[in-house]
Amino acid sequence: MNFDDTPEQAAFRQEVRAWLDANARLRSNDSDVWRTLRPRNDTDDKFALERAKKWQAVKYDAGYVGLNWPTEFGGRGLSAHIAAVFKQEEARYDVPANAFQVGVDMVGPTLIRHGSAAITERFLDPIRRGDEFWCQLFSEPGAGSDLAGLSTKAVRDGDAFVVNGQKVWTTTAHWADYGLLLARTNPEVSKHQGITAFIVDMSTPGIEIRPLRQADGAEHFNEVFFTDVVVPAENVIGEIDAGWGVAHTMLTSERSAIGGGGMVQFDEVAMLAEHFDRRSEPLIRQDLARLYSYFEITRFLGYRVQTALSHGQAPGPESSIMKLHISRQYEFGSDVIEALMGAAGTLWEADAPYGGFFNGLFLAQWAPRIGGGTDQIQRNIVGERVLGLPAEPRVDR
């Protein structure tokens, strides 16, 4: 596989760089983006969200949102490889790059594939423009990696469904206008067959959102409780009891999005080394070289996933291999950051370099091992589908 830019990619990269140079500034030591990347209180939250919405609107007006969406749905119909170029370039600038990732990279493609004409007409343009913020209502206290074991119920009541249950680890639910919900609509069939996907207005009576405070003081995750929440039947995505296919599309889109970027870029770690005047140290240079290789491998694995998607194929175990590699990348990257910062790594927020951004990354290094499917689940997939090992015993099959 050739990882060099094709002539089309190279031309698009030049176009994107010219546009970004005209509309943003390169990230630097004095960039104000560091504080907004890891908001830790209500004031920071509101500032970060408003900043993200303004930037999203600028990109929308210029035609740089939903680049790989079909043209009939407002996109530019570009390949996933070419669309990834924009993210690679955008990451170098002082902008809130990934705030609308759930909506644009996950919900949007899912609605395009499974949504009715009424749903796509109503929701796709506000998603691209950033007018409406979305969350993913999947995981539950008893259904994380085993997502099909979810117990949130949706019972038909005339022209609506009544939802009761609980979701957890819902990223930015406290910001969200809408959520894509999985709920059990038929408990009499196998667990994968009795699930339905819904669009839920997060302001609906009966929805309670409780933020979960993290080790770094931020509140990005939430518990979401549903008590007799009425969801119109017209908000069903796809067919009733066929929501597992919808979930698979969204999870596949999530893996592709993960492969396109992350919480930190290599250039930012290199900048940190320069800030502490340590780029000339042999051991630091060795660690930076190794970390660079991690980032490059992630990029190449992401290309493999995107290639499968661009050919209309569901990515196979390569997405699990990529997920496992990303976990290792963040773990090692956090070790490098800690080594670079030394005693400064014990400082916090205003006292720390870059507003505590890198200190927060050190605390968050374990998150990739859990979020989006645990390392253990990914190893099972690789073991069974690549190595041909026997499957683990399952009491639910």
In angstroms, the CA 152 to CA 332 distance is 37
Q: Is 254 designated active site?
A: yes
Q: In the numeric block, which tokens belong to residue 48?
A: 């970060």
CA–CA separation, 343 vs 362, rounded Å?
13
Phi, psi of 74 (to 5 degrees): 95, -5
Per-residue DSSP letter, 393: P
Classify each residue of 318-348 as buried b or exposed e, where b means 16 or more C-beta atoms within 10 Å of its C-beta.
bbbbbbbbbbebbeebbebbbbbbeeebeee
195-201 and 236-237 beta bridge pairing: antiparallel
* 370 phi-psi bin (left φ>0, alpha ψ -120 to 50, beta other): alpha
383, 385, 386, 387 alpha-carbon torsion, rounded to 10°: 50
- CA-wise closest residue to 369 among 337, 332, 318: 332
Calculate the CA 124 to chain-centre distance: 18
- Buried/exposed code over 256-282 (b: 16+ C-beta within 10 A; e: otherwise): bbbbbbbbbbbebbebbbebeebeeee
Q: Which of 254, 268, 349, 392 is catalytic?
A: 254
Residues with catalytic function? 254
